[in-house]
Amino acid sequence: MMYAYYAMSLLKIPCPWKRYLTLAQLTQFSTVVLYSTVCVIMWTLKNENLGWEPYAAVGVQVWEMFSLFA
């Protein structure tokens, strides 16, 4: 859908589903942040010794989602 939107924008054709595409992306970003938060909570509750790498990866992922949302 994104590539079709990009092609239509390039050709100056109005995109009828632009609003829904934006809404879907914002929903995706929010869902990823929620899922990442649940993962960290589950790791903490299970007292899993995962090291710092998974937490760093989740931090980068959440930062990226917030930046895309903004």
* Dihedral sign (CA 39, 20, 4, 6): negative
Reported confidence tier of residue 38, pLDDT bands at 50, 70, 90: very high
Structure tokens at 56: 């760093």
Rounded Cα distance between 49 and 25, Å, is 33
Phi, psi of 16 (to 5 degrees): -70, -20
Q: What's the pLDDT at 18?
A: 87
Position 69 confidence tier, pLDDT thresholds 50, 70, 90: confident
Residue 12: CA count within 13 A, CB half-sphere: 0
**7-18 pLDDT per residue, tens:** 988 999 998 888
pTM above 0.85, yes or no: no
